[in-house]
Amino acid sequence: MVEQMTDEKLLRVACFSGACFFFCLLCNVSKGETVGVTVPTQAKSWVSRGRAESEWITISFFFLLTGTCFKKQKKSTKPLSETRVVKQHFSNHGEIDMKQALLYEPFDGKIVRCFLCAHNCRIEPDHFGFCSVRQNVDGKLYTHAYGRAIAQQIDPVEKKPLYHFLPGTDTFSLSTIGCNFRCGFCQNWQISQLGVQKFCENWGQALLPEKIVAIAKQNGCRSISFTYTEPTIFFEYALATCRLAKEQGIKTVFVSNGYMTQQALEMIAPWLDAINVDLKAFSDNFYRKFCKAHLTPVLETLKNVLRAGIWLEVTTLLVTAENDSPEELDQIASFIAFELGKGVPWHISRFFPQYEMIDYKPTPAESLQLAMETGQKHGLKYIYAGNVAGPSNTICSNCGEVLVKREGYTISQVWHNPGVCGRCGERVEGCFS
């Protein structure tokens, strides 16, 4: 029999969890788009612009989060997954009605089929989908991820990474909990691998779409990014925000694993300006083993994004001895060049051990170099190495002129005539205004 934890033990668990998280952050040397959390409503001085600052904010947030989730509550004899939840509760913000989900249909009796993402979950009453935030309540599908955020921060848009989309500008970034992948190498696993039934009912804070747009506008952000966790799973929240942002002249961004259905993409496309899609590998075995997903839906999404006229950049995290073979790199580069276009930027990111893959070795620098050479062989114009020190400039593919000079996320030089090389007049693909 499992002992029921007392309030005192819960408090000790919360403190221990926070201490472990603090230690993990100190040990983690990865420089990918890890989440930092802040509420930038007062002034630009509150904004964390680099990873070093954001980690301290993340630590403070995690202690607050664990304390909120483990505070004394009325005990229930049923697990949350078996309890019909019709309200979203906030420890400090009252409650709001749950949002009925989009993109689902009745399947059999009160079972529903969700077709938001390629998992196409069949969800029984009182159960959740694979994403852990969409729940069948009495034959109707509801989302627990509407109107509240677990992370929010102002970032340079380069952090997404997007190098050909409004370079040198700020983006207001936010996310909810949950994901439709189970990547053992996830940089933001502390929030992406949480779900309502796995964690607690009280998570994050109320942040309605109107407030998101207001914060972005107050802080001079040119865009709003749905990132850190998979935006497809908080689709209704993102869609409502995108529509309001468009009215205010603010652009919108997805940082996605590309596992959305064509119906979802078609619905968001008129309101979405840019997307960075992770093409994690070119092997279905890799996707099944590490992500609990499949490759084909991601490839279809990449092609559909281009057809929809959304600016696209692609990222591949090279995991040591898993997706960095010469053959697989050749397949990825060839697909980007000949199926998507040679002007689509390819971000090659270095892996560092974390989460469930701490026994793996960091990606050797030779693998990144091989990937860049492979991309060049296939004619890709813009290839960027991530999670490594050194410059990552945007260079004219015709004459070699440096157009945007950047070190990490810091830009020290931006061309005078964005979109066109000032030396030779070559057109540069991207969204620069």
Q: What is the CATH number of the domain that holds 251?
A: 3.20.20.70
Q: Are residues 135 and 170 in the same domain?
A: no
Q: Are residues 421 and 372 in the same domain?
A: no
3 falls within a domain? no
Q: Are residues 336 and 302 in the same domain?
A: yes
Q: Are residues 378 and 396 in the same domain?
A: no
161 upstream amide cis, omega within 30 of 0: yes
Domain that includes residue 394, residue range: 389-433
* Backbone φ, ψ for residue 423 (5° rounding): -90, -50
Rounded CA gap, 203 and 62, in Å? 11
Q: Which of 46, 79, 95, 379 is nearest to 218 (CA)?
A: 46
Residue with the two structure tokens 């991530």: 386
128 falls within a domain? yes
Tokens of 385: 């190495």
Parts of the chain with a pLDDT under 70: 1-97, 196-201
Q: Are residues 135 and 14 in the same domain?
A: no
Task: Report the length, in residues, of the chain.
Answer: 433
Q: How many domains does the chain have?
A: 4
What pLDDT is attached to residue 196? 66
2 falls within a domain? no
Q: What is the pLDDT of residues 10-45, one digit of tens each?
A: 344 444 445 544 444 444 433 456 665 443 333 333
Q: Are residues 114 and 177 in the same domain?
A: no
What pLDDT is attached to residue 413? 85
Among 143, 167, 195, identify where a domain stops: 143
Residue with the two structure tokens 């995991």: 319
Q: Contact, 421 vs 413, CB < 8 A? A: no
Q: Are residues 242 and 367 in the same domain?
A: yes
Residues 6 or more apart whose CB falls under 8 angstroms from that of 258 comprise 277, 278, 279, 297, 298, 301, 302
Q: Are residues 160 and 184 in the same domain?
A: yes
Other beta carbons within 10 angstroms of residue 239's beta carbon come to 19
Q: Are residues 395 and 368 in the same domain?
A: no
Q: Are residues 300 and 351 in the same domain?
A: yes
* pTM of the complete model: 0.82
What pLDDT is attached to residue 60? 38
What pLDDT is attached to residue 13? 40
Q: Are residues 26 and 165 in the same domain?
A: no
